[in-house]
């Protein structure tokens, strides 16, 4: 009967062993050595891939934010200069503040829709509604689509000569077509609505599964005590939805603060008209790679500093998420 090694037997220095082990010698290795080698070979490719293309750039952001570097030639160490400039230089801090405010507006529009409409539709779908599964399917349908497709589709539909304007003109709601994406006042909300339209299905599903997860016995007890449907919703269902609301809020926050796809696609890095759609993601992109006209200098150090600022802004939210995930693990 062969000795069955306990997990402790091969617990120590797998990593050290790996470095020493030589593939050519595999022939003469004992079972334990072969085992360690194979574990290492399983582990290393993923670590390298992630390390080089994900972790290294993340660390690089921290390092690069202390350098002045246009992307070619030597980089100069400048200490906290990028951060000082970003926060105090009139031109830079104006852009940062403008982008931050607009990101926040974008976030508020999305989150109001996700929580407001999301809860409404999830509640409606939680009853014995006819056609429930067809509605669920349809509401989720835009979610897996590419942002590019949704953005261009939206652009055509809200165009000056597009269906929405034609319809509103036809019903005499407006006297002249609206330039949804062309006016500084309406461009950002319009883009936020596109994104909300695409992603509402996700919130509906999350809230719906929270509602369906309300313990049946709680509801039953409430009903036996003579609670009306609204009282059940108000006092039994809503309190249980709080975690789902927090989760949706945080996911939306992280998404809006780091992902500027919609604005980049529709408005380019200049985030027109007149920077009215500029959000943190486009500000960072423009700083790193220049404007769409090719003018403006690339400033990778400054872009990294902006990346650091955004990271700090969303860090509490993402750490909360990570801890939550670890706990549920």
Partner 1 sequence: MERIFKLRPMEQVLVQFLLLAWALVVAIPFGLAFINSMKGSLGQVIRAPFSLPDSWQLENYAAAWEMANFSGYFMNSLIISVGTVAVAVLFSTMAAFVLARVEFRGNRTLFILFMIGVIVPLRLAMAPLFVVVQNLDLLNSLLGIILVQAASMMPVAVFILSTFFKHLSPEIEQAARVDGALPFQIYWKIVLPLVKPAIATVALLSFVSAWNEYLFPLLFLQDRSLYPLTLGLQEFQNEFAIQWHMMFAGLIIMMAPTLIAFLLASKAFIQGLTQGGIKE
- Give residues 29-68 in contact with partner 1 (rule: CB under 8 A): 31, 34-35, 38-39, 41-43, 45-47, 49-61, 63-64
Least separation in angstroms between CB 75 and partner 1: 10
Span 257-296, contacts to partner 1 by CB under 8 A: 258-259, 261, 264-265, 281, 284-285, 288-289
Contacting partner 1 (CB under 8 A), which of 21, 143, 178, 238? 143
Question: Six-digit token pair at 233?
Answer: 């919703």
Please identify, using beta-carbon distances, which residue of 192 and 251 lies nearer to partner 1.
Answer: 251
The β-bridge partners of 76 are 68
Least distance in angstroms from the C-beta of 277 to partner 1: 16
- Based on the number of CB atoms within 10 Å of its own CB, is 163 exposed (0-12), middle (13-18) or buried (19 or more)? exposed
Cβ distance 192 to 110 under 8 Å? yes
Given the complex with partner 1, which of 180 and 285 has the nearer CB atom? 285
- Show the site string, 97-136: x = touches partner 1 by CB under 8 A, - = not: --------------------x--xx--xxxxxxxx---xx
User: Quick one: 34 or 90, whose CB is closer to partner 1?
Assistant: 34
Stretch touching partner 1 by CB under 8 A, among 89-97, 148-156, 178-186, 271-279? 148-156
Number of chain positions touching partner 1 (CB under 8 A):
113
Report the residue number, 192 or 288, with the smaller CB distance to partner 1.
288
Q: Does 23 bind partner 1 (CB under 8 A)?
A: no
| 206 binds partner 1 per the rule CB under 8 A | yes
Which residues in the 229-248 window bind partner 1 by CB under 8 A?
229, 232, 247
Strand partners, 67: 77
With CB under 8 A as the contact rule, the residue among 94, 108, 220, 297 that binds partner 1 is 220
Q: Contact between 2 and partner 1 (CB under 8 A)?
A: yes
Segment lying near partner 1 (by CB under 8 A), choices 92-100, 103-111, 173-181, 255-263:
255-263
Report the nearest approach of partner 1 to the CB of residue 316 (Å).
11
User: Which one, 48 or 184, has the nearer CB to partner 1?
Assistant: 48
Q: In DSSP terms, which residues pair with 77 in a beta bridge?
A: 67
Q: Which of residues 172-191 bind partner 1 (CB under 8 A)?
A: none
- Nearest approach in angstroms of CB 301 to partner 1 is 8
Tokens standing for 94? 């104006």
């Amino acid at each position: 009967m062969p000795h069955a090694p306990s997990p402790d037997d091969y617990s120590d220095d797998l990593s050290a062993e790996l470095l020493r082990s030589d593939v050519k010698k595999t022939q003469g290795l004992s079972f334990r050595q072969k085992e360690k080698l194979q574990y290492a070979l399983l582990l290393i490719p993923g670590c390298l891939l992630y390390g080089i293309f994900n972790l290294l750039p993340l660390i690089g952001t921290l390092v690069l934010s202390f350098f002045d570097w246009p992307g070619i030639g030597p980089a100069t160490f400048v200490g906290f200069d990028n951060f000082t400039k970003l926060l105090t230089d009139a031109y830079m801090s104006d852009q940062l503040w403008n982008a931050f405010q607009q990101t926040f507006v974008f976030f508020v529009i999305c989150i109001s829709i996700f929580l407001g409409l999301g809860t409404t539709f999830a509640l409606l779908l939680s009853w014995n509604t006819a056609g429930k599964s067809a509605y669920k399917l349809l509401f989720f349908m835009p979610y897996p689509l590419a942002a590019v497709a949704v953005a261009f589709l939206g652009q055509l539909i809200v165009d000056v000569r597009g269906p929405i304007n034609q319809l509103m003109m036809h019903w005499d709601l407006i006297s002249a077509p609206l330039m949804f994406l062309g006016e500084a006042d309406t461009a950002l909300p319009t883009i936020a609505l596109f994104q909300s339209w695409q992603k509402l299905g996700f919130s509906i599903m999350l809230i719906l599964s929270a509602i369906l997860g309300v313990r049946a016995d709680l509801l039953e007890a409430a009903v036996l005590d003579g609670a009306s449907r609204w009282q059940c919703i108000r006092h039994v269902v809503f309190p249980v939805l709080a975690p789902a609301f927090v989760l949706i809020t945080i996911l939306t926050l992280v998404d809006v603060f780091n992902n500027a796809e919609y604005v980049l696609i529709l408005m380019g890095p200049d985030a027109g008209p007149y920077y009215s759609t500029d959000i943190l993601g486009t500000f960072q992109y423009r700083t790193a790679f220049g404007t769409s006209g090719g003018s403006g200098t690339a400033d990778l150090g400054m872009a990294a500093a902006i990346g650091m600022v955004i990271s700090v802004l969303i860090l509490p939210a993402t750490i909360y998420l990570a801890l939550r995930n670890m706990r549920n693990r």
